Structure 1
């Protein structure tokens, strides 16, 4: 990581804190009842738990509960740890991670904010805020936090993946590939990352590279549905229709595969091919009759506009 002098570093921290302030008001740890960090099983469920001797013991118990999939108990244990050590950034961070897993976005954001308030250089908390803000459709705030996270810790793969997605959304495909490659250096067998890299190549028009990445994703995880669908989309755009049908029917019924191919062709203004595939979808399954015929009607309108 490049050296950053103290003036630039102070500026970066100030910018991150400004983003945090813009997300929501950040509660203080002390004199806080933490009710906005937890929703789940009643506290009575955990009334028989043994008392904690230290905050560290609470974190250890929380980690064990999280490992066995009991997210509510894990959060409860971290909250008990905070009662003994109210400024423990790691406890807040772990609560944020689990609330994010539960898709409790507001609670996750609050927990990550509190972690960062107690430790402004907590890369995980900054990453967590960025990931939440992406889901809240605040991409620019998310980008600032995620970039700060990898500045503090270049090995944060989730941040690199998220920054790749954000770069794709704004059409900066070279930047996206750079982040996906950085993430793959950390997790070379990740089907999700290979698929994301493939889609970035696809958007950039680098279809050979996209195919290689999708195949790498499927080699890593043959059950990765999104990679199969993306590969089918690519083959359809390349008019490799037999191969497209073959890969799509790995994960969807034949009628749905034809309907997908027809929709892709329609968007690519290959209207005759779209008409043919929508007809095949209707023939393949009565359940697709209405959908396919609605699509056929749209294609016929487009053909009529093309050939008045």
Structure 2
């Protein structure tokens, strides 16, 4: 049975530095930091999520999708990779109007507005409105 392990502090600091470098536009420095983070722990989804962001910002959406999917495969509960993948694969004329989710902000997941709990059914069942 797989149990998720917490990343080391060295890994976390390198991931944070890489995210900052990406936000500043220094993609080469970010790739170096991500390589160092991968040597610390390659079983964490943040590594692939940030590589996906770099690929997306360089307009290589195919590679970005691969990295987001790899991050999702490592940890399906890691929401930033799922959000990024949904954002770049959604069919829309304004596809890239959203900003990438770096995974550094705490966000509360909400149910879509089309779902509501029915007072006549059990709590675990949802009724489409």
Q: Name the TM-score, length of structure 1 as normaliser.
A: 0.27
Query: SS of 2:72's equivalent?
Result: helix
Which blocks of at least 5 consecutive residues in structure 1 are unaligned?
1-126, 128-155, 242-260, 269-283, 288-308
Equivalent residue of 1:222, what SS? coil
Residue pair 2:88, 2:95 contacting (<8 A) in 1 also: no
The secondary structure found in structure 2 opposite 1:163 is helix
- Per the alignment, residue 104 of structure 2 pairs with none
Between the two proteins, the alignment pairs up a number of residues equal to: 94
Question: In structure 2, what is the Cα distance between the partners aligned to 1:266 and 1:229?
Answer: 13
User: Which structure would you say has the larger Rg?
Assistant: 1
Q: Could you tell me which residue of structure 1 aligns to residue 56 of structure 2? A: 202
Indicate the SS of the match to 2:77: coil
Match of 1:168 among 22, 26, 29: 22
Structure 2 vs 1, CA of residues 218 and 172 (structure 1 numbering), >3 Å: closer, same or farther?
same
Change in 2 beyond 3 A, CA 1:198/1:233: same
Give the RMSD, CA atoms, in angstroms. Answer: 2.8
Q: Distance in 2 between matches of 1:231 and 1:194?
A: 12
Runs of 4+ in 1 over 4 A off after TM superposition: none
| Aligned pairs for 1:149-168 within 5 A | 156-168=10-22
Structure 2 residue runs of 5 or longer lacking an equivalent are 1-8, 99-112, 117-129
Of structures 1 and 2, the one with the larger relative CO (CA 8 A, separation 6+) is 2
Supply the distance in 1 between the matched residues of 2:96 and 2:17 (Cα, whole angstroms). Answer: 31
Matches within 5 A, 1:82-121: none
Q: Distance between the aligned counterparts of 2:37 and 2:84, measured in 1?
A: 20
Is the contact made by 1:173 and 1:201 (CA closer than 8 Å) also made in structure 2?
no
Matching residue within 69, 83, 91 for 1:215: 69
Q: Where does residue 84 of structure 2 map in the other structure? A: 230
Equivalent residue runs for 1:1-308 within 5 Å: 156-236=10-90, 241=91, 264-265=94-95, 267=97, 285=114
The TM-score with structure 2 as length reference comes to 0.60
| Alpha-carbon distance in 2 for matches of 1:214, 1:266 | 15
The C-alpha deviation readout for 1:233-277, integer Å capped at 9, x for no partner, is 1213xxxx3xxxxxxxxxxxxxxxxxxx68x54838xxxxxxxxx
Go from structure 1 to structure 2 and tell me whether the alpha carbon gap of 1:266 and 1:233 turns closer, same or farther (over 3 Å shift).
closer
Give the structure with the higher percent strand: 2
CA contact (8 A) 1:198 1:212 kept: yes
In 1, the alpha carbon distance for the partners of 2:96 and 2:68 equals 23
